[in-house]
Amino acid sequence: MGDLACPYPVIYTRKALGPLKPGGILEVLTDNPPSCENIPGIVEEDDHEVIGVTRVEEGVYYPVKSSLKRFLKPLKNYCVFSG
């Protein structure tokens, strides 16, 4: 995601994580300093996991593991019958 100003790397990272299956890996590379700081936060906020941070010549590389938690939402408005 080189040459993209914040917040685009953050937005694109969040969007790319959406269709990933649990356990899938998204590889993120950004050279935008604010995004370098913000990406780990939004990843964790969405219950995914940054599994590494590596500074490379092109910027900062983050492999991100997609979480199962986002698929396990609490049940609401359910009925319990006994009987």
Q: What is the 3-state secondary structure (H, E, C) of 17-58?
A: HCCCCCCCEEEEEECCHHHHHHHHHHHHHCCCEECCCEEECC
Across-strand partners of 64?
A: 26, 50
Q: Chain-wide mean pLDDT for the chain?
A: 83
pLDDT band, residue 50 (cuts 50/70/90): very high
Report pLDDT for 6.
81
CATH topology of domain 8-70: Translation Initiation Factor IF3 (3.30.110)
Structure tokens belonging to residue 62: 């983050």
One-letter identity of residue 12: Y
Across-strand partners of 29?
A: 61
